[in-house]
Structure 1
Amino acid sequence: MTDIGATLGAEEEFHLVDPDTFALTPSPGLVGAALRHELGEQVHPEITTTQLETATGVCRTLAELRAELQATRAQARTAAADAGVTLLPASTHPSAGWREQVITPGPRYVAMVERWAGLAQRQDICGCHVHVGVPDLDTAVAVLDRVRPYLPVLLAMTGSSPFHDGADTGYESYRTLWWGRWPHTGMPEAIGTADRYQEVVDGLVTAGVIGDASHLYWDVRPSSHLPTLEFRLADLCTDLDDAVLHAALVRSLVRVLAARAQRDEPVPPVRAELLRAARWRAARDGIGGRLFDPVAGVLVDARTAVEGLVAELADDLADRGEEDEVRRLVRQLFGRGTSAARQRAVWQRTGDLREVAAAIVREGSTHG
């Protein structure tokens, strides 16, 4: 068990905007440089030329992760500035839409459009992915099966996409709904074993839904190329503190749930329909209302749900010296709200989506 959760890392996706108008701005030169690996090992292209991705190195502590996130964001911001653009750290741009995007001319992205057509061409969203080290696929699947009921609470804490295509969607994470149009997003039923996982992957490949396991877009998936379990459900966190909090909770969950699997504790029963309902409710209301518990089948105050999650993980967090930091970050999050709530407050105050975009850029530069 000592290897489980010993390491973690994060990938973050950013929109590229004009530094003066904050309009979504293609940067083919910048993305081309990323395709040619000219921006270093930690800055990568994404599916469109209005996006850029960063990846931390392998970290062992939350302090290391924070430092890596700061460094990779700074590296990407510098590269963007040299190309005449800047980063907008939110999952959706407040006013722009997919029609203003151009697909990145790399083989992987061209193949994505060939396979998924309009779904790939309309991929105008960004996310945050956290990798947690696991020793083998059996452990990854055991945690995957047990983590499903916890995902709505994690999602509710990260919303940064209240606007889409110039409209207030009424959601904190509209990205979740937009992403949900794909045939292989959300979460699968409990899988059981590594062999059964491979059978599912093989079936999806045969169906033509995916080319290989690297194209599984579940909220949580075993990485196809790293010894990790990858959590893909979160919106991109505008404030770096929220990203650190998300990563801390995710890693602790992996450690706790892996230990339960080792003790042969049963997988919590949860209907797929109720899990989808809980995911929808979290995407809509974030931490500003009540969340749906898909196991108990009841609505729970969001603060109570988050505090319950932290309490469940408290012993694990305390054993590793992370509990105080996590509780501080939770208090901060509830004190100022999610990025989505802060964006909507700017919109309600100004009625100007350009001001919303400017506020996102400023916050990301100050707290990222």
Structure 2
Amino acid sequence: MTGVRLTVGVEEEFLLLDAEKSQAAPAVDAVLAEVPDDLRGQVTREYLTSQIEINSPPGLDLRALRHSLGMLRSGIAGAAGRAGARVAAIGCCPVTGPEPPVVDEPRFHRMVERYGALSPGPGLNGLHVHIGVPDPDTGVQVLNHLRPWLPLLHAATTNSPFAEGRDSGYASWRSVMWARWPSVGPTPFLESHDHYEDLVSRLVASGAMLDEAMLYWYARLSARYPTVELRLGDVCPSLDDTILVAALARALVGTVLADIEAGRPAPRIDQPLLSAAHWRAAHDGLAGLLDDPADQRSRPAWHLFQRLFDTVRPELERNGDLELALPLMGRLRSRGTGASRQRAVYARTGDMGAVLDLVTIA
């Protein structure tokens, strides 16, 4: 795979809000009815009626991805406006209100019956990035190599500090709530693709998952596409943040593919240490300390995130993404994560409505 540009695609989940009130709205069917015809194949329901999802087509050009996501974000925002709602790019709803029902689909009803109230509130909204890989066996090796780096991307996407009208103490409260599902967590170290398949089968047999699609590891092989899927972060508040994460994710996969071809082994980090690193990422975001992928010692998060950028910089340049990623990295550094931005608005206004205004897509 050396020298080959990898495809990248993105899924983003959003919260639907009442147009007038600062609370979630069970409006997905009304919004979908207003989505322009040329976008409908890329806009779908999610688990709850107060959520909506967009899916970009996979491609090689990051600028084309940005254009596609921009059109989709604008399209669902316009559709929501026509349906008496609005769209918020936030990990979970920061205020209380009536709990919207689950989307009326058999699979979702089975999930409620089996797992109960594991996702209370109006929904947990994430970001999923798909990176193309040549085959499942290589994909499993990529998953092993990615493990120590993923807490840094997790920290960069934190965008849900508030819950029930107050600060949760976490940069990503969504991550805390999401971790209640039995199949959520860091990807284990995998011996082979057969090992991966065996674990999936045994998890389904145990009742922890209904099917392979409920494998909610922070990185997995996609059940639908020939990709590695990173699914560890909150939906980002701005398109700038999403594109930066997508660029870094593709460059990181390209970097570890070179390591695999060179015969460099993946580091075997103990699962409890990875769980602790992801907990810290959810708690602090990029505003505190994180565990160094090299030696698992705590260091300033921004120092480690910059090291990630420097590590994948040759791949960013080879992909033609460096010119775009450099200013996006600077903006994230100057503005902070979505969690930091939300807290700054609340500190200034004391108004949770102003927080929701901040993350509402125009």
TM norm structure 2: 0.94
In the TM superposition, residue 320 of structure 1 has moved relative to its aligned partner by 2.1
1:184-223 equivalences under 5 Å are 184-223=183-222
Which deviates the most, 316-325 or 204-213?
Answer: 316-325
**Hey, what does 1:353 align to over in structure 2?**
352
**Residue identity matched to 1:187:** P
In the TM superposition, residue 327 of structure 1 has moved relative to its aligned partner by 2.1
Write the distance in 1 (CA, Å) between the matches of 2:2 and 2:40. Answer: 32
**Hey, what does 2:178 align to over in structure 1?**
179
Identity %: 39
Cα deviation code 1:85-111 (max 9, x no counterpart): 1101111122136x5221111122112
2:346 corresponds to 1:340:
no
Write the distance in 2 (CA, Å) between the matches of 1:25 and 1:197. Answer: 39
TM norm structure 1: 0.93
Write the distance in 1 (CA, Å) between the matches of 2:39 and 2:26. Answer: 17
**Hey, what does 2:249 align to over in structure 1?**
250
1:261-340 equivalences under 5 Å are 261-293=260-292, 295-340=294-339
Report the CA distance shift for 1:3/1:315 in structure 2 as closer, same or farther (over 3 A).
closer
**Hey, what does 2:77 align to over in structure 1?**
77
Write the distance in 2 (CA, Å) between the matches of 1:39 and 1:116. Answer: 33
Write the distance in 2 (CA, Å) between the matches of 1:287 and 1:120. Answer: 25
2:164 corresponds to 1:152:
no
Provide the secondary structure at the position in 1 that maps to 2:87: strand
Provide the secondary structure at the position in 2 that maps to 1:149: coil
**Residue identity matched to 1:285:** D
Cα deviation code 1:119-169 (max 9, x no counterpart): 155572101111111121111111111101101111111111001122211
Q: Is the 8 A contact 2:12 2:128 kept in 1?
A: yes
Report the CA distance shift for 1:247/1:32 in structure 2 as closer, same or farther (over 3 A).
closer
Report the CA distance shift for 1:316/1:149 in structure 2 as closer, same or farther (over 3 A).
same
Q: Is the 8 A contact 1:269 1:295 kept in 2?
A: no
Q: Is the 8 A contact 2:31 2:79 kept in 1?
A: no
In the TM superposition, residue 38 of structure 1 has moved relative to its aligned partner by 10
Q: Is the 8 A contact 2:49 2:102 kept in 1?
A: yes
Cα deviation code 1:287-325 (max 9, x no counterpart): 112212255131111221011111111111112222232
Q: Which runs of 5+ in 1 are unaligned?
A: none
Q: Considering only aligned residues, what root-mean-square deviation do their CA atoms show, in Å?
A: 2.1
Report the count of equivalent residues.
361
Q: Is the 8 A contact 1:9 1:56 kept in 2?
A: yes
Provide the secondary structure at the position in 2 that maps to 1:221: strand
Report the CA distance shift for 1:3/1:104 in structure 2 as closer, same or farther (over 3 A).
farther
**Residue identity matched to 1:85:** A
Cα deviation code 1:24-76 (max 9, x no counterpart): 11115326759xx9971011001111110110112211101100110111121
Provide the secondary structure at the position in 1 that maps to 2:148: helix
Provide the secondary structure at the position in 2 that maps to 1:40: helix
**Residue identity matched to 2:213:** S
Provide the secondary structure at the position in 1 that maps to 2:118: helix
Cα deviation code 1:168-212 (max 9, x no counterpart): 111111111111111111113201211111100110111011122
2:140 corresponds to 1:141:
yes
Write the distance in 1 (CA, Å) between the matches of 2:196 and 2:3. Answer: 22
In the TM superposition, residue 2 of structure 1 has moved relative to its aligned partner by 5.8
